[in-house]
Structure 1
Amino acid sequence: MKKNRCSKWLVSLILCFPFLFILPIKGVASNSGFYVTPVIPENQLENTVDYFNIGVPAAMNQTLEVVIVNESTEPKSVRLTLLDGMTTKDGTISYDKEHTYDDSQRYRLSKIAKLEQNEATVEPNSSATVKIQLKYDISDFYGTILGAVNVSEKEPDNTQVGVNNSFAYNIPIKIRVAEEGKENRLNYKGLTLNSEKTKQTLDLTFQNPEPTILRKLNLSFTVYKKDKPAESLWSSEMKEVELAPNSLFSPELSLTDSKLKAGKYVLKIVAKSDVIDSSWESDFTLSTSEKQGMNGGVEILSESNQWWLIISVAILVLGGAGYVFYKKKS
């Protein structure tokens, strides 16, 4: 009985051993020990407490404050950065400075605001207040400027490579200048066919040219053979999309599993919300070479994973031989 248990354990070890080399190692972060909260000013437009939503005149001159609270027993060093509102590929509003800005965006939070300090150290069980100065003359502009202040924990000097336990907070800052813009528009800029070895996508570009947030936008996409609009060959949709003011929206539509053959096609786009009702069409062509480069999105045998396959087979063969030898000796 003991010998059988030993044999089963040895077989399980041999079968699982190759996978030990390919399982990812992931660091798990602990509690941050600090949090950030905005000091709500008198010109807050709505009854919100977790972000700034203020109305200002064209000649703005105001100071905003955020409080960094350290609840831990060790000092916390943080870095502060002003970010601009942008629209992600998934159709959500986020904040960053490393993205493509739209030409219609005349004013950015990172340009019209200034941090009193870019770094701060908060002592244990205490708090620190950091000021953001808004002092700028804005001309011929009615609408919203969207951004955020990012507060991120500085990593210790002894942090291991590949392990990131730092925390970050974004406090959104929504500035309405003069009054909210009344016009809502969505422009379609076109598509690019992006063909790679294991995937094929239609990269689209939309533009929100107005200083207003577009909300609850539903997009539907349909592909049909050119001159055969009644026969839908592929379709997809995106619901509840939000676009930041004066931003670009660049979704990627995957055609990897579409089963489309080489030929000429048309992509039909329909965009609808409470304030948007538009549609567009774009032609694109799939060539024979592009379709031959597709294999359903699965990399069958690349040079990088050939070695893993060889090593795994070798380990299994050696392990099997060892097991047979062990059985004979027993």
Structure 2
Amino acid sequence: MIEKKNSVYNILGKIGLVLVLVFSLCYCSKNIYASSSNFNVNPVTPENQIDKSLGYFNLLMNPEAEQNLTFNLNNTTSKSITVDMSFSRSTTNDNGLAIYDSAGKTKDSSLQYNIEDYVEIPKKEITISAHSQVTVTAKIKMPQGANSGVLAGGFAFKEKKSKNQESTSKGVSITNEYRYVIALVIQQDTQKVSPQLKMNDAKATQVNSRNVFTANLQNMSPTYLQDMNAKATVKNVNNPEIKYSFENSDMKMAPNSNFNFAIPVSIQGNMKDQTSKALEPGKYHLTMTVYGVKNTNGTYESTVDGKAVKYEYKWEFEKEFEIAEEKAQKLNQSDPTVHYKEPINWLMIIGIALILIILLLIFLIFSRKRNKDSHQ
């Protein structure tokens, strides 16, 4: 009898071990992105730096002046590394943030002098020995006609890795991604230039497979539009009850750039048990108010997080546009949140199936044991 009981416990123990392994495989295969870098970058501040407390280059230059900028790169590891150096003009992404990555971005129609044409990087691939420092330079030039406002861009430094390079340990893959960006802002004088904001087209489209309205905003001036605060409402002309509103009070536009300000139509983020309403075809009316540059003595006032905030600049825009029935249907069909159905949770189904199999095995084992005992 004791041997039979032990055999039952051994079987149950093995089944339990299999379950633990199955769920471990389901949950433990994850990517972890390392939060540290193998190198650091320090710009060497030149004499013509406007504000020496800044961690980036903000230079006052004469027309057609040329100069070299210096960077110290330090390898903090015990092995040799290679760093790629690049330069891009400042642009505005569709989250309303000024960034230094012009890849895939068409030059803005208001951009007269592209700073990328006036920056030269002699050595774009830098090898740094273990625990050592190298000094690299970049050559810049101030164009003759850029006598007002600023030209802006950024130097990017990123460790070069082989394609899909990663280290693995105990089923966990670790991917190291770190990019240093040192901004460059050059100007011929320090006289203030006012931003000029314009609204171009408005339309219905998608962002991350979600239906949205977008309004293209363009900063036509060679200056940053700081502290940008936009509030927008879109109404269906024939049915005012169909209304969508959105605001963002924490934006910044690069000089001579544009971006698409999105007003969500579909539910964003976690859906839970909700579904998005289908986008209706028809005529729509967009109204938008934009504030810029916070100033306690500013002329214009808006409310941000329940508090009154004053700004130097204010713009108001209106635009009518139409969504064709075919366009609306196409957008609704490709938006997974419209007529949303909860996806099948295969992990839960597998877990329930395994539990049922275990219960069935236990039942069969004890039934077999009971039958044998009854015959003895």
Could you tell me the TM-score, scaled by structure 2's length? Answer: 0.73
Which residue in the other structure is 2:250 paired with? 240
What one-letter code is carried by the residue in structure 2 that aligns with 1:210? S
The one of 306, 319, 323 aligned to 1:285: 323
Which residue in the other structure is 1:104 paired with? 110
Change (3 A) 1:297 1:131: farther
Shift of 1:56: 0.7
Shift of 1:261: 6.2
What one-letter code is carried by the residue in structure 2 that aligns with 1:296? T
What one-letter code is carried by the residue in structure 1 that aligns with 2:261? P
Which residue in the other structure is 2:161 paired with? 155
Change (3 A) 1:298 1:19: farther
Which residue in the other structure is 2:64 paired with? 59
Which residue in the other structure is 1:169 paired with? 180
Shift of 1:216: 0.9
Q: Does 1:93 align with 2:98?
A: yes
Change (3 A) 1:170 1:318: same
Which residue in the other structure is 1:117 paired with? 123
Output the CA distance in 1 between the equivalents of 2:20 and 2:287. 50
Shift of 1:100: 2.4
Give the SS at the match of 2:359: helix
Q: Sequence identity, in percent? A: 21
Output the CA distance in 1 between the equivalents of 2:151 and 2:112. 10
Q: What do the CA deviations read for 1:254-278 (whole angstroms, capped 9, x no partner)?
A: 2013747624332211112234322
Which residue in the other structure is 1:323 paired with? 359
Q: How does 1:1-330 map to 2 (within 5 A)?
A: 17=22, 20-21=25-26, 25-29=30-34, 31-98=36-103, 99-155=105-161, 159-160=165-166, 164-180=175-191, 182-194=193-205, 199-226=210-237, 233-257=243-267, 259=277, 262=280, 263-273=282-292, 274-283=311-320, 284-285=322-323, 287=325, 289=329, 293=333, 296=337, 300=341, 309=346, 313=349, 316-317=352-353, 319-330=355-366
Change (3 A) 1:74 1:239: same
Q: Which moved more, 1:164-173 or 1:288-297?
A: 288-297
Q: What do the CA deviations read for 1:179-208 (whole angstroms, capped 9, x no partner)?
A: 445232101011221159962111221111
Output the CA distance in 2 between the equivalents of 1:184 and 1:267. 22
Output the CA distance in 2 between the equivalents of 1:129 and 1:13. 56
Q: What do the CA deviations read for 1:74-106 (whole angstroms, capped 9, x no partner)?
A: 222111101110111111111113122202112
Query: Which 5+ residue runs of structure 1 have no aligned equivalent?
Result: none
Give the SS at the match of 1:150: strand
Output the CA distance in 2 between the equivalents of 1:190 and 1:77. 44
Shift of 1:24: 6.3
Q: What do the CA deviations read for 1:27-48 (whole angstroms, capped 9, x no partner)?
A: 3326323210110011111132
Could you tell me the TM-score, scaled by structure 1's length? Answer: 0.82
What one-letter code is carried by the residue in structure 1 that aligns with 2:99? S
Give the SS at the match of 2:49: coil
Output the CA distance in 2 between the equivalents of 1:221 and 1:178. 36
Output the CA distance in 2 between the equivalents of 1:36 and 1:61. 23
Query: Which 5+ residue runs of structure 2 have no aligned equivalent?
Result: 1-5, 168-172, 268-275, 293-310, 367-376
Larger-gyration structure (1/2) = 2
Change (3 A) 1:16 1:158: closer
Give the SS at the match of 1:276: strand
